[in-house]
Amino acid sequence: MTLTGQTSTRKLLYWGSHYLMIAAFVIFALFPLYWLLKVSVTPNDILYTEGVRLWPSRTSWENYAFVLTQSNFPHYFLNSVIVSGTTALVTTLIAALTGYAFSRFAFRGKVIIVALMLITQMFPLVMLIAPIFKILAPLGLTDSLTGLIIVYTAFNVPFATFLMQSFFDGIPKDLEEAAMIDGNTRFEAFRAIILPLTLPGVAATLGFVFTAAWSELLFALMLVSSESASTFPVGLLSFVSKFSVDFGQMMAAGVLALVPACLFFLLIQRYLVQGLTAGAVKG
């Protein structure tokens, strides 16, 4: 009797602290986003006088209205959607092919290619900006969305490949071998049987790459000089570098820019955990 009483008290204590810690993590994760939102709906005249209040005495959507109708932001936004969307699609396609080869074939040079991909994850990307600029300029690929897409795709392919490989590793080889005995080529088997089974993996990779490309600032800043090819981080920076920084408008633009990345991420984060489960054990 006393024993069960003891266990239930301990259980209560455990779950109490469990939920308390969970709550702390949720607050820590969300508070900065809440603050971003708060600043974006604060009218300019009380931005500083009510700077530290948890919620302003009155709110307005004027910052959002300005950003959407008076600024170039919708244009930057569209550029970012084009760049990130295309990068995600192309990267995932290339990574799926490479990841499949890594998962299913033993071939000469495989170790070298894997090592090459690992090394690309290690060096400071900053040092590539000047050389990439010099390579892309004669090809007419600076100051263009195509150039950005090519660069982002190359940067994201290595990690995306390892991610896709871990998904393929989780699927039994017998499946496509059976299809190949029935007279299909391996590529047909890959396309018709294996790829549909890895759809969660494809979704996770798409989302991961989209988010990465959506946030990239340094290369966008250096490779693009005109307004017409600017992506949103560059556009956001133009709010900062203007003579008088308009923080309310900048935060409103920031909230708008957050929406697609967060939506994408909320949809795919489950698959990301699932996908890594397959690959994580091998280390």
Partner 1 sequence: MNTGTQTGKLPVERRGGFSRKFSGIIEPYLYVSPALVLIIAVMLMPLILGLSYAFRDIRILNPFSGGFVGTAHFEALISDQAFLDALANTAWWTFGSLLFQFGLGLVLALLLNRQFLGRRLVQALVFLPWAVPTFLSGLNWAWMFNPVVGPLPHWMTSLGLMAEPFNILSDPDLAMWGPIIANIWFGIPFFAITLLAALQSIPKELYEAASIDGATTRQQFISITLPFLAPTIAITLMLRTIWIANFADLIVVMTNGGPADSTQIVASYIFTQAFRRLDFGYASAIAAVLLVLLLAYALSVIALRRAMTHTDS
Near partner 1 in 132-171, by CB under 8 A:
132, 134-135, 150-151, 153-155, 157-158, 161
Helix (H) or strand (E) holding 228: none
Distance CA 217, CA 249 (A): 19
**Closest CA relative to residue 145, chosen from 83, 223, 217:** 83
Alpha carbon of residue 207 to chain centroid: 6
Supply the minimum distance, in Å, between the C-beta of residue 5 and partner 1.
Answer: 19
Our finding on whether 265 is near partner 1 (CB under 8 A) is yes
| 191 is an interface residue for partner 1 by CB under 8 A | no
Nearest residue to 80 via CA among 266, 263, 261: 261
Residues 55-84 that bind partner 1 (CB under 8 A): none
Q: What does residue 150 show for φ and ψ, rounded to 5 degrees?
A: -60, -45
By CB under 8 A, residue 15 contacts partner 1: yes
Nearer to partner 1, 220 or 229 (CB): 220
Are 231 and 72 spatial neighbours (Cβ–Cβ below 8 Å)? Answer: no
- 278 part of the interface to partner 1, by CB under 8 A: yes
**Contacts with partner 1: how many residues (CB under 8 A)?**
95
Q: 214-253: which residues touch partner 1 (CB under 8 A)?
A: 214-215, 217-218, 222, 233, 236-237, 240, 247, 250-251
Closest CA to 58 of 67, 45, 71: 45
CB of 228 vs partner 1, minimal distance in Å = 21
**Residue 126 near residue 218 (C-beta atoms within 8 A):** yes
Residue 193 as a binder of partner 1 (CB under 8 A): the answer is no
The least CB distance from residue 83 to partner 1, in Å, is 13
- The distance of closest approach from Cβ of residue 89 to partner 1 in the complex, given in angstroms and rounded to an integer, is 13
